[in-house]
Amino acid sequence: MQINNRISVVVIEDHAIFIEGLRSVLQPSDQLQIVADFTDGETALQYLEKHTADIVLLDISLPGMQGPAVCSTIKKLHPGTYVVALTNHTEKSIILNMLKNGADAYLLKNAPKEELLAVIFQVLRHEYRLPEHLQQLLFKPDPAAIVPKLTAREKEVLQMVSGGATTAVIAAKLFISRQTVETHRHHLMQKLQVNNAAALIKKAGELGLL
């Protein structure tokens, strides 16, 4: 909904001082107009049930209803409204959750004002691309998901450990010394980055090694 040919912006942010900062950045533009601001998602959604907006600048950490749920609801109410997530969060899971719930852009609060303005207009022109540093965060392999390569003997020892076999039993069944069994255990814990047998079995299960 453009007001006097200006792009209408709704701000949802629980820190009043940050809202004032956004006003100081956006108000000088003759193309943008903040039409409403809210410090919680529920009140903002009540407003958006009756009004439309071109852009919503949305914080993720809010009192009550959190950013991802607010974003998803906005998109159901007004599919044509663009949502820019404004946050301090750089965790991969949080970024993915916002994008999954319909955010059109993701911007850190410490970004320069020129970047905020650029992102708003990129989104409106369907030209927005996630910044390279955030792309690297998203596509960086998760260490917990990297499956280490185990030797055939390590696999045997791992299977027996998961079955509750003691070092003595493993040594007897594989015809190797107890010291050799302990060496294999040590190597397994190093490769799976754990400190005890219980954690070893849990991690091996998560990685599909059992």
Same domain, 135 and 151: no
Q: How many angstroms separate the CA atoms of 67 and 87, rounded?
A: 10
Residue where a domain terminates, one of 87, 112, 139: 139
CATH number for 150: 1.10.10.10
- Given 112, 139, 166, the domain boundary residue is 139
110, 13: one domain: yes
Q: Are residues 190 and 150 in the same domain?
A: yes
> What span, in angstroms and rounded, lies between the C-alpha atoms of 129 and 103?
12
164 occurs within a structural domain:
yes
Q: Cβ contacts of residue 72 below 8 Å, gap of 6+?
A: 101, 102
Q: How far apart are CA 39 and CA 101, in angstroms?
A: 20
Report the half-sphere exposure of 102 (CA within 13 A, side-chain side). Answer: 21
156 and 131 within one domain: no
Does 2 fall in a domain?
A: no
pLDDT at 105: 95
The last residue of a domain, from among 88, 110, 139: 139
Pick out the chain residues at pLDDT < 50: none
Calpha distance 84→131 (Å, rounded): 13
- Is 197 part of any domain? yes
**Does some domain include residue 49?**
yes
Q: Is residue 199 part of a domain?
A: yes
Please count the structural domains in the chain: 2
- Give the residue numbers spanning the domain of 28: 7-139
Q: Could you tell me if 103 and 75 are in contact, meaning their C-beta atoms sit under 8 angstroms apart?
A: no
**Could you tell me the two tokens for 206?**
């998560």
pLDDT at 205: 87
Give the CATH number for residue 48.
3.40.50.2300
Q: Are residues 74 and 127 in the same domain?
A: yes
Is 1 inside a domain boundary?
no
Structure confidence by residue, pLDDT tens digits, 72-112:
999 999 999 999 999 999 888 899 999 999 999 999 999 99
Residue 129 exposed, middle or buried by CB count within 10 Å (0-12, 13-18, 19+): exposed
Q: Is residue 54 part of a domain?
A: yes
Q: Are residues 12 and 89 in the same domain?
A: yes
Where are the strands (E) in the chain, listed by range? Answer: 7-12, 32-38, 55-59, 82-87, 105-108
- The answer on 166 and 129 residing in a single domain is no
For residue 210, the model assigns a pLDDT of 83
What's the confidence (pLDDT) of residue 153?
Answer: 95
